[in-house]
Chain A
Amino acid sequence: MISGLFRYLVPVIYPLFPASTGVLTLVLDLDQILKLRSARPFDGTLNIRLRVFEDGQTASEESLDFEVKGGRTGAATITRTLETSKLGYAELHVEADSAVFYKIQSAPGYALLSGRNIGTLTVNADQKFANPRVIDEIKATGRFCMQHSACLVDRARNIGNSLLLINPYEQGLVAQILGPDGKRIRERVSSRYCSLVDLGRVVPDGVWSSYMVTGSNRVLTYDVRHPADRPLSPTSIDHLDVFSGVPTHQRMTLVPAMRRHVRNMLRHAGLAYR
């Protein structure tokens, strides 16, 4: 890091399901990444490294170098279709040969999981580290806690809900999953492994519930909806949220504070909702 600029973007993680479930398609628009994240047009090299992990091992690895001139690669978008035989994950690094990025977070976007039987699901990426919301949470509470407030397990209707844990770090960890009624389970996730945990073990059946995840260390989490008898056939993949460390109130100068106040009044008077 030199003078507020960075050589790299934070690596992002995508969950991978067994090939019998579906394949994940990633689309990278390099020129768009450079446009959104580089401080100025630059000449140099951009390296893209994509690694797929399965059972703690690197299942495949690809590294591509692109020549950048005037802030553009001239390359078309890169599309990759990824699949594994078991649960796994893909890790994507974007790195330049000099400090050019003014912000380390990757631009938002999602990948597509195309199922053999069901159709297509959207899948959000998660950041391996430097997630601003996680950092805010740790600063405010001193704890790591992820949560989801709309969990439903209803075995009579074959509605299942599971938690996908991904540990992309160098050491194993123990995650604790907590239900609203005091039930809790501990799940060990070895380094570079994934684990799918049935939430029916911690939440009451047939009732909308919340659940939380904490652990001996940070872990990446996804909420997976599926038929109760087929956990590896997801119909929806959602991210969890942190226990937000952001205060309910913020300090503002007079003009924005007045603007906020007027907007709230207009909204509650039914005059302007935005």
Chain B
Amino acid sequence: MPIEAHGGTREEPGWLCYCFDITKQDVLAHFARPDASYETLVDETNIATKCTACRLDLEVLLERVHLRPGATSLSGQSVQDHGRGIKVRQDLADVGFYLNTDQVMTVLRVANEGLLFDDVSRTVPYNYTVWVFSDRGKLCQKVKGKLGRREALTLSTEDLQDCPEYGWFLLDLEPTESNGLMGTVRPQMAVVGPDWTATVHTQLVSMACRYKSVLAHRTRGRFAIDISLINPNLWSAQVSLDVARLDGQVLACEEVSLPSRCAKIVSLDRLEIDRRLDGIFRVGVRSSLPVSKHVIVRHNDGSVSLDHFPNAK
């Protein structure tokens, strides 16, 4: 099977690093050794350390070395169409929360740009649908539209009529042609204050999970951290949120009932923990159904930073 890197195949070794006379076969032979690693390869051969033009090709070549048995790519995705099976669009339904107060608004942004703002040959147009829900599960808005090549969607909670102060949204992107790459369409959500912004990628709804944990820093008896929970399922979810020391000892726990299509923000400072305990803790969220979880860290200057819990896979 040919190696994907430019200019050679497994049968025809091909030069990889002209500066140090290294072929692809030399690299593969190095990795046949039990003590081989990227670092030993660079240390012993100096590959990719002079003009560095070969480093990207080396990365592609090393994918073959780093593959799990039976896998075809490190990401589990195939960038080539092998022509077997039914062609189905990727599931591009993302979920996120929004804040919409006097001081803070949320912006959802999706851009469909060409490679390096130039080559649009591998991009395709999309249809999009955004469902905006209140925290109590009421569908407040449904926004539909088209996102052409070189276009961007910028949807602000300010633009939505009767948008609640807190809730969640689901964004579905439907590619209208089947021969493109996803390119830049991974959505971003931004929370915007009077003099600050914070962004995070929205998370695929299929990546919601039943248990994940994150780290949290407590100073002067205060976390200043909120956890946003979204239940996009048809059924109610029981959620258990606990704060534990790094050695696993649980210090506090809160049970939350989250009805279907509802969202809730839980402040970690609501949990009863000895005020003298400061430091790094582990916050675990366990739920009876897959639930989307985000961390909202409130800062002393009024700004916030955001992150979602790690993906399910």
Contact = CB atoms under 8 A, between A and B. Distances in A.
Interface of A: 1-4, 6-8, 10-11, 25, 27, 29, 76-77, 79, 93, 95, 98-99, 102-105, 108-112, 114-115, 117-122, 124, 128-136, 138-145, 147-150, 152, 157-159, 161, 169-171, 173, 178, 180, 182, 208, 210, 212, 214, 216-218, 223, 225, 227, 235-238, 241, 243-254, 256-257, 260-261, 263-264, 267-268, 270-274
Interface in B32-48: 32, 34-39, 42, 48
B280 A27 contact: yes
A251 B83 contact: yes
Given A129-B62, A250-B90, A264-B91, 4 more contacts: A171-B49, A244-B185, A246-B90, A264-B172
Interface in B103-143: 107, 109-111, 113, 115-117, 122, 124, 129, 131, 139
A236 B305 contact: yes
Contacts of B297: 119-122
A130 B59 contact: yes
Nearest to B225: A120
A223 B280 contact: no
B6 interface: yes
B122 A1 contact: no
B10 interface: no
Contacts of B4: 139
Interface string B216-232: 11010000110000001
A130 B56 CA distance: 10
A123 to B, nearest CB: 9
A132 B81 contact: no
Contacts of B139: 270
Given A112-B280, A244-B186, A251-B82, A210 B115 contact: no
Interface residues of B, number: 119
Contacts of B65: 1
A223 B183 CA distance: 18
21 contacts: A3-B69, A109-B214, A109-B310, A121-B297, A122-B307, A124-B307, A133-B75, A138-B56, A143-B115, A150-B107, A169-B52, A171-B52, A217-B55, A235-B196, A235-B301, A238-B198, A246-B77, A246-B181, A248-B175, A251-B81, A274-B206
Interface SS of chain A: mixed
Contacts of B253: none
A141 B115 contact: yes
Given A7-B34, A130-B74, A216 B88 contact: no
Interface string B44-74: 0000111111011001101101101100011
Nearest to A257: B86
B183 A244 contact: yes
B276 interface: no
8 nearest A-B pairs in the assembled complex, by CB-CB distance:
A132-B75, A251-B85, A132-B74, A150-B188, A248-B175, A236-B198, A149-B111, A244-B182
B280 A105 contact: no
Contacts of B69: 3-4
A12 B52 CA distance: 20
Contacts of A111: 215
A117 B79 contact: no
A144 B56 CA distance: 8
A129 B219 CA distance: 35
B197 interface: yes
A210 B179 CA distance: 24
Contact of B75 (A10, A135, A152, A253): A135
Contact of A4 (B68, B75, B174, B306): B68
A152 B190 CA distance: 10
B215 A112 contact: yes
A112 B199 CA distance: 17
Nearest to A235: B303
A256 B31 CA distance: 37
Contacts of B68: 4, 102-103
A1 B36 contact: yes
User: Which of A134, A251, A252, A273: most chain B Cβ within 10 A?
Assistant: A273
A273 B139 CA distance: 12
A225 B299 CA distance: 13
A25 B261 contact: no
Contacts of A214: 116
B87 A250 contact: yes
A146 to B, nearest CB: 10
A190 B165 CA distance: 47
Nearest to A105: B74
Given A136-B73, A178-B117, A238 B199 contact: yes
B261 A273 contact: yes
A87 to B, nearest CB: 19
A118 B302 CA distance: 9
B93 A135 contact: no
Which of B76, B81, B107, B182 has the most chain A CB atoms closer than 10 A to its own CB? Answer: B182
